[in-house]
Structure 1
Amino acid sequence: MQPVPEPAVAVGEDPRSYARLMSAVYDATMTGSRAPARPREVIGASWQRMLASGIDPDERTPPVVETAGLDMLRRSSGLLAVLDEVSHGLESLVADGENILVVADAQGRVLWRSGSPSVLGNADRLGFIEGAHWAEGAVGTNAIGTALVSQRAVQVFSAEHFLRTHHSWTCAGAPIRDPRTGQVIGVVDVSGPAATVHPTTIALVDAVARLAESQLRSEHDRTLNRLRALAAPILARMGSPALAVDTDGWVAAVDAMPLHNRILLPEQLTPGRVWLAALGMCVIEPLPGGWLVRPALGEDATDADQLSRVTLDLSNPDLPSLCLAGEFGSWRHDLSLRHAEILCALALSPQGRSAPQLADDLYGDRTRVVTVRAEMSRLRKQFTGLLAAQPYRFAGSVDLGIRYPADRRMLLPPSTAPVIRNARMAGPPSPAVRQDG
């Protein structure tokens, strides 16, 4: 059960009076004098952590900022799926122009922020910008860092901040947990000038964080249901114990085996024979969005390392697809136009393509690497084990074939990507790629 969020300023309490009291408490605490009152428990505990760590409350060193890898941090945070939900739920607090909305990751790094230019400008002066580290160890007591440490929703008002430079601000933050594991994956925060403090803000921020968790749970259920629908007929045909898991090891379907909720998978997983702690030696094959797993029997020893036979089927101008035929069965996955373009570009270049090269292939613009990396992240998650990176390419464990339309000029007709325009006029693909009839 989640603890009830405690506002810094209670309903009916005068914020100015509370700010003056907290300023006196803060000054006394920092100088080791007798304070006129005690700070709230969550604030007092944070102050003690800061004092014990030797952080100087008057230090003006700006926080560490990571900008080069910001896009990668966003994609790996697990928070992209709930960004719209969070923004919509808190737009009433940001629309008046007095507050900014911030979403940070599990390490307290600011991933996104939005708000009026004037408040964003004030935040800039504090170093409260995208990519900045906002954990307690970086900037002292604050709603993001203290919510991460306390694992609860926190409102920090004026002199409750450990750094004196932050006393003109108020902020309310609530942790967002991965509903599958219970682990905190980020924080949603609303911040602004201290005069904007309101006792209901923390409750609203906490409620939006809970809605975000509910959305994550629903999205995970939808992902498992899609995988289950694909894997169930394959499992039924196999006639041997097996299960289907998503890319994180969560079980979507099982046949003739004890029930498992989740299987711990190695970080780097490829098709073939793999030792899994829960099952022993297993033979695995890729599925769209996951893996097909079977405990290895003696007769599997010679066949388990065979290549996955994959065909990029572009023969139907209106319905490109990726097909896999493996030892356990086969599946077919329809492709969006963009993903068909990317896979075609990779099939035409077995040696691989860098992000700038793919950007040139798709857009005729080598600078659009952020978009390319985002699309490749989605593709590699969708087709686990089939695609490799650095450079982007089909994995060595894949026996790749490509099927073209009878009239090469009909290759992906809606596409304007340079690589597809060139392929319409080109001859056969590289000898490293099967050309299926």
Structure 2
Amino acid sequence: MTTLTELLKDPTPSEINFAEQYSKLGYSGQRERNFEAFAATGLPTRRIEAWKWSDLRFALSASVDPADISLPDTPFATIEDAVTIRFTADGIELPEVIPAGLSITTKDAGNALPGAEEIPVAALAAALATKPGTLLIEVKGKVSVPLHLVFENSADQTFSHTRFVMREDAELTVYESHLGGKGFSNHVLEYSLEQRADLTRVLFQNADAASVQVFTAIIQLEAQARLKQSSLGFGAKLCRNETRIFHQGDEAHAVLNAAYLLDAGRHYDQTSLVRHSREACTTRQLVKGVVKDEGRAVFQGKFHVARAGQQTDAEMQHHALILENGGDVNAKPELEIYADDVQCAHGNTVGALDGEALFYIRQRGVPEKQAKALLTEAFLLDALGQVPDGAREPMSAEIRYWLESYV
């Protein structure tokens, strides 16, 4: 009989640790499939194309003492009436009062992750998630208050698996705060939107410089379903924010926007895959970032249009500023199109602040540091235009605080 460690080729200490954790869990066919999907490749390295700029195996090679952790604050704490679910080292803290339209249950055995072989790190999260194995959230109708998921990654290792099912015509706003201490956190979220369901998803990421974070979302859109997603990230030792969107019904629509700010020792990987498999679906993606002091940014975006995806209308844009020498931006926008009646485009730029615009502002008596901050803030806020009113100003304040400290 093949042992768990034998499934892994030349396992690292981290991988052996994962196998030992898995072996202590009760048997579950769903967990087994997830762990075997991870074991087929193990922790990704630069040799894997999708991770060639984010070497997770190397990032986890050095052990880190998680003691004396101080988690960053979240700007979403000020949002009125938000219902909070907190993911802690001791398990999940559920709200005392659950609003109408939401049903929240847990499953100890976990759930098999669709397409687990393509996302082995997410499969690892689903395999090792406990307390519970899976959090299940069903949404019916229009939920009048937002839901706030707080991932407090304060342990040396944290895993979770959350599944949303949004029924026909359901509406929900979800805020996610991914806050990291000094350990390794790995979360996977599934969002299934039935016909005409409407999801607004807003993410905030900030972590200790010794933290390693991976959070993956799998979002399925049926006919006329709508997604508006916006995120703001500040990186970590290594942070990967991955979103995979599947247009599975005609006339589905997705907005996939993001902004990031990175300084010394911070790595942020913004990866996305959007598959158009039905007719007349649309996607808009805008990602903007700022890098300085040897910060390292990764943008990987891919639109895949199947032969059945006629009349697809999709646009992808990534633009980054390097404020000082030493910043590093790696970008890979891709279009893979098999249909012949489509409108698809992508753009990518990496550069510096506009010298003429900076000169124009300084001519009006604005000091150079403040002028740079104003221009940079305006550049980034364009990517956060879809954020709901209650969160836009707190997120803008996070950007201004970073710029005041580092520009």
With structure 2 as the length reference, what TM-score do the two structures score? 0.21
